[in-house]
Amino acid sequence: MLDPQIIATIKSTIPLLESAGPALTQHFYQRMFHHNPELKDVFNLAHQHSGGQPVALFNAVAAYARNIDNLGALTGAVERIAHKHTGFMIQPEQYHIVGSHLLATLKEVGGDAVSDEILYAWEQAYGLLASVFIGREEQLYTERAEAKGGWRGARAFIVREKRVESELITNFVLEPKDGQPVIDFVPGQYLSLQLTHPSLANTEIRQYSLSDAPNGQSYRISVKREANGQVSNLLHDQIQQGDELAVMPPAGDFTLTADAQTPVVLLSAGVGLTPMLAMLNQLLAGEHQAEIRWLHACEHGGVHAFAEEVASKSATHPRLAARTWYRTPRTEDASHFDFHGTMDLEQVNDLLPAGAHYYFCGPTGFMQAIKSQLVARGVPNERIHYECFGPHQEL
């Protein structure tokens, strides 16, 4: 626990943090990468360039300051970040590096407004938070290493199958090189890949949602080609069947938790359907007893991944109903979608079961619209679950 004076001092810095905004964390990352360039092999530099990671870190720092006297309010955020960290194989000694640059950033950005008392308070507060993360991350590392089929760190996997699923999405089925089993995961979780290649300036780690139910022997990820995505284009264009990839154990706190008697509605847009598909396949494999709804939106038929797979499942499972929206349908798409435009839940009002849990993933604008519609329909927060690809955002 922190001393009351420490808590009071941290809270007194909230106006300073808010006035600095994300410029504070941008300065932090620039400073850290300058002094510790080896960390470029750990952090996702694409999120640095987009500005998403500095904003996410600033929001986390500000939330910590605001809740320094009520750390229970941060439990969800700590769990989500701890899972992310294990995907990047963050180690305890790296917390010391981050802490030193954070304190130096506070002094360099805050100038005379940052006293020795403030620096001491933040040193103590950061130390407490670091110990929480280190402890939880060690638990996660240990649990995965000791589980059947589990491991710690990177493990060699072979690409056993590579298949184009749409104009933008390609499937990769990965099996361990040693031929041994793999740890099960909870649908909604992701795999972290560690990639080195002559085309990459640094080692890059990327996280991709698992897109099929667990089977104990292999994993499937489905990767969208991003226009300027170094790693996604590398996977699409260079990585072939038979190639070896370094893979970390499954992680993530966005998971399917509804029991067998609870209706489930899975909503997605674009590549956001990947964790939804793992959930769908698990529900069907487990003979889910309540109703299941699959609602998906995309641009047109050319980028509609898994269309035939979902249609086949919908035709053979009486509790499953699927509907699709195309925003800009092509002439040849005439019979392949249900609604034109963006997803409007009023159009499927009669399909939405009472008491359902809603799981959704996709672009931020889509998720904001879906959450707004669900709230307007009176769906309580405890039945609303979503995942952000990349740095987390509150909707």
Query: Which residues touch 293 (CB under 8 Å, ≥6 apart)?
Result: 263, 264, 265, 266, 320, 321, 322, 323, 348, 351, 352, 353, 356
The widest CA-to-CA distance across the chain, in whole angstroms, is: 69
Q: Which of 275, 265, 374, 274 is nearest to 319 (CA)?
A: 265
Binding residues for FAD: 190, 206-209, 388-391
How many CA atoms lie less than 13 Å away from 391 in the CB half-sphere? Answer: 18
Binding residues for heme b: 85
95 has catalytic annotation? yes
CA angle 146, 193, 390 (to 5 degrees): 105
Binding residues: 85, 190, 206-209, 270-275, 388-391
CA 306 to chain CA mean position, Å: 21
244 has catalytic annotation? no
Q: Which of 64, 126, 137, 386 is catalytic?
A: 137
Distance CA 233, CA 82 (A): 28
Would you list the DSSP string of 93-149?
HHHHHHHHHHHHHHHHHHGGGS-HHHHHHHHHHHHHHHHHHHHHHHHHHHHHHHSTT
Q: Which of 29, 95, 219, 358 is catalytic?
A: 95
Name the residue type at position 251: A
CA 249 to chain CA mean position, Å: 14
Q: Which residue has the tokens 């500095």?
A: 54
CB of 368 within 8 A of CB of 275?
no
CB of 263 within 8 A of CB of 291?
yes
Binding residues for NADP(+): 270-275
Active site residues: 95, 137
